[in-house]
Amino acid sequence: MNLEPSPAMNQDAKACLKVIHEALADVKAKDILELDVSDISNVADAIVIASGTSTRHVKALADNVADEARKAGFRPLGVEGERDAEWILVDLGYVVVHVMLPTARKFYDLESLWRSNTPELA
């Protein structure tokens, strides 16, 4: 289901989401989910959750997101979880990206945590 971002989401966040989605698609991320949290969070305007097929794939996805974001002018504020690469978080300020193995994604179930109060973007 495609929903338009809320008016509360700023234009930079929308541009950042486009870069992230393309970076994830380029490295063949699985089950990409974008959630607009601009109405309920003062930390970020959106959250992106995606799965990789192995720790190597998760790392490649997160690296590509960070690299492509830098090229587009969105400097990562932090990257966490690279050592184990079961769940890597890339904080881009406007958007927080979670790249996870399917087992970690199912266990932590971030979708249920955020989806109950947010519209799905893509």
Provide the angle, in degrees to the nearest 10, between the axes of the packed helices 11-26 and 55-71.
Answer: 140
Domains of the chain, first to last = 11-115 (3.30.460.10)
Q: Which of 96, 76, 99 is nearest to 86 (CA)?
A: 99
Q: Which of 88, 96, 91, 92 is nearest to 113 (CA)?
A: 96
Torsion of CA 39, 77, 13, 96, to 10 degrees: -60
pLDDT of the residue at 32: 95
Mean pLDDT of 27-33: 96
Q: Global pTM?
A: 0.86
Q: Inform me whether the pLDDT recorded for 46 exceeds 70.
A: yes
Of residues 44 and 9, more confidently modeled: 44
**pLDDT category of residue 30 using cuts at 50, 70 and 90:** very high
How many residues appear in the chain? 122
Least confident of 39-48, 56-65, 93-102: 39-48
**pLDDT category of residue 116 using cuts at 50, 70 and 90:** low
Q: Inform me whether the pLDDT recorded for 9 exceeds 90.
A: no
Using a pLDDT cut of 90, give the percent of the chain over it: 66
Q: What is the DSSP letter of 5?
A: P
> Cα–Cα distances in Å, from 53 out to 89, 94, 102?
16, 26, 7
Q: Inform me whether the pLDDT recorded for 15 exceeds 70.
A: yes
